[in-house]
């Protein structure tokens, strides 16, 4: 990236962080995933922590980092060990934790967070009930506005996540964009847009200057 492109990207990131502050979020910016993981490990200690399914959190090895000083409930990890019933039980338990950590399908330069979900535990955990919620995102999730965020979900996040989960949906099988399908394995069942921070409890955007997650 040349000097002018770096300057433009820096301005874009600063504009985004300013918009999130106006929307009442706490914000943190880190150059690397290691720095972000170190920060979260310092911030979260002695808590029960719930996870929303996230390739970004896995890239930070955040389960391992936080488990040293916290009880961490990760429904996706439980599903690998115990199947659907274990996933559902852990998903319910994660909604009752002190802290909730997830990523986003997209964040906007206007300070909004956009997520699509299949089962609903991830977006449910992002809305209410925790002492604090952290949204951990790489800069690849950053788009201009809500329309671009939804397009990113349809063209990138949903097809790639469906393929990762080995779903038999048209987007995963054909390797292209969302078909607005009726498949029982569809993962695009509910859309949430955080226009502003939810009331009464702190929420923080942890933005990392790397491409992370889908």
pLDDT one-digit tens code per residue, 3-34: 778 888 999 999 999 999 999 999 999 999 99
Q: What is the C-alpha separation between 189 and 201, in angstroms, rounded? A: 26
Q: What is the extent of the structural domain holding 85?
A: 3-208
> For the chain, what is the domain count?
1
The pLDDT of residue 104 is above 70: yes
The pLDDT of residue 201 is above 70: yes
Question: In this predicted structure, what is the pLDDT of residue 196?
Answer: 98
pLDDT band for position 1 (cuts 50, 70, 90): low
Pick from 114, 109, 204: nearest CA to 158: 114
Question: In this predicted structure, what is the pLDDT of residue 6?
Answer: 85
Residues 37, 38, 39, 43: what is their CA dihedral angle, to the nearest 10 degrees? 100
Residue 214 lies in a domain: no
Q: What is the residue-averaged pLDDT of the chain? A: 96
* Distance, CA of 169 to chain centre: 22
Q: Is the dihedral of CA 58, 64, 69, 72 positive or negative?
A: positive
Question: In this predicted structure, what is the pLDDT of residue 2?
Answer: 74
CATH number at residue 77: 3.40.50.10420
The pLDDT of 50-64, averaged and rounded, is 98
Residue 15 lies in a domain: yes
The pLDDT of 149-174, averaged and rounded, is 95
Question: In this predicted structure, what is the pLDDT of residue 32?
Answer: 98
For the sheet containing 113-117, what is the strand order?
A: 142-143, 106-108, 113-117, 190-194
The pLDDT of 196-200, averaged and rounded, is 97
Residue 182 lies in a domain: yes
């Amino acid at each position: 990236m040349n000097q002018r492109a770096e300057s433009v990207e820096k301005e874009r990131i600063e504009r985004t962080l300013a918009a999130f502050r106006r929307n009442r979020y706490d914000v943190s910016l880190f150059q690397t995933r290691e720095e972000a993981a170190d920060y979260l490990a310092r911030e979260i200690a002695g808590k029960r922590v719930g996870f929303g399914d996230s390739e970004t959190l896995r890239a930070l090895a955040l389960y391992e980092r936080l488990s040293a000083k916290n009880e961490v409930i990760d429904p996706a990890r439980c599903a690998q060990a115990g199947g659907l019933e274990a996933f559902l039980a852990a998903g319910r338990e994660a909604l009752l934790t002190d802290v909730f950590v997830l990523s986003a399908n997209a964040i906007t330069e206007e300070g909004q967070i956009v997520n699509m979900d299949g089962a609903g535990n991830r977006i449910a955990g992002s809305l209410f009930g925790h002492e604090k919620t952290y949204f951990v995102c790489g800069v690849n999730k950053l788009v201009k506005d809500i329309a671009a965020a939804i397009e990113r979900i349809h063209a990138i996040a949903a097809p790639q996540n469906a393929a990762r989960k080995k779903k038999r949906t048209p987007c995963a099988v054909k390797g292209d964009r969302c078909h607005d399908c009726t498949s029982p394995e569809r993962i695009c069942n509910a859309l949430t847009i955080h226009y502003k921070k939810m009331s009464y409890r702190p929420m923080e955007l942890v933005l990392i200057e790397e491409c992370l997650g889908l």
